[in-house]
Amino acid sequence: MDSAWPPGAAEGWNRHSHQREETAIIPLRLARPSNIPRRPIRALGPAVTGALALAIAGCQFGPSALKISHTQYNQALQESAAEQLLLNLVRLRYGEAPVFLEVGSVSAQFVFDQSGDIAGTLNENVGAQRGNPDVLRLGGSLGYTERPTISYAPLSGDDFVQRLLSPISLNTIVLLTHSGWRMDRVFRLIVQEMNGLENARAASGPTPASAPAYAGFADAARLLWSLQEKRLIELGYETVTEEVSDPINIAALTADALVQAAKAGHRFRAVANGNSYVLTRQVRRLVVRFGQDPKGEEGVPALREALRLQAGKQEYRLVPSASVRTIGAAAQTAGESVAIDARSLLGVMFYLSQGVQVPKAHVRGGRVTTTQDVSGPFDWSSVLGRLFKVHSSTLPPRGAAVAVHHRGYWFYILDTDQDSKSTFSLLGQLFTLQAGSAKGTTPVLTLPIGG
Please provide the DSSP assignment of 195-221 as one string.
Answer: TTEES-GGGGSSPPSBPPP-HHHHHHH
Q: What is the mean pLDDT of residues 117-128?
A: 64
pLDDT above 60: residue 88: yes
Domain hosting residue 140, numbered range: 10-78+109-154
Instruction: Give the C-alpha separation, 364 to 367, whole Å.
Output: 8
Q: Which amino acid is at 442?
A: T
Q: Note the pLDDT of residue 251.
A: 75
Q: What is the mean pLDDT of residues 221-229?
A: 95
Could you tell me if 102 and 155 are in contact, meaning their C-beta atoms sit under 8 angstroms apart? yes
- Write the DSSP string, 41-59: HHHHHHHHHHHHHHHHHH-
> Is 150 in the same domain as 280?
no
Instruction: Give the C-alpha separation, 96 to 90, whole Å.
Output: 9
Domain assignment present for residue 394? The answer is: no
Could you tell me if 174 and 320 are in contact, meaning their C-beta atoms sit under 8 angstroms apart? no
Could you tell me if 29 and 14 are in contact, meaning their C-beta atoms sit under 8 angstroms apart? yes
Question: What is the band of 24 on the pLDDT scale with cuts at 50, 70, 90?
Answer: very low
Question: What is the band of 325 on the pLDDT scale with cuts at 50, 70, 90?
Answer: low
Sheet containing 409-414, strands listed edge to edge, beginning at the edge strand earlier in sequence: 391-393, 409-414, 400-406
Instruction: Give the C-alpha separation, 400 to 366, whole Å.
Output: 28
> Is 237 in the same domain as 303?
yes
pLDDT averaged over the chain? 79
Segments of 207-304 assigned E as strands: 233-243, 248-249, 266-271, 276-290
Strand partners, 446: 151
User: Which of 291, 325, 342 lies at the terminal end of a domain, its last residue?
Assistant: 342
Instruction: Give the C-alpha separation, 435 to 172, whole Å.
Output: 13
Domain total of the chain: 2
**Which residue would you say has higher pLDDT here, 29 or 421?**
421
Domain assignment present for residue 42? The answer is: yes
Domain assignment present for residue 387? The answer is: no
Domain assignment present for residue 349? The answer is: no
Q: What is the mean pLDDT of residues 188-203?
A: 96
User: Which of 290, 310, 342 lies at the terminal end of a domain, its last residue?
Assistant: 342
Q: What is the mean pLDDT of residues 67-95?
A: 87
> Is 242 in the same domain as 311?
yes
pLDDT above 70: residue 146: no
Question: What is the band of 14 on the pLDDT scale with cuts at 50, 70, 90?
Answer: very low
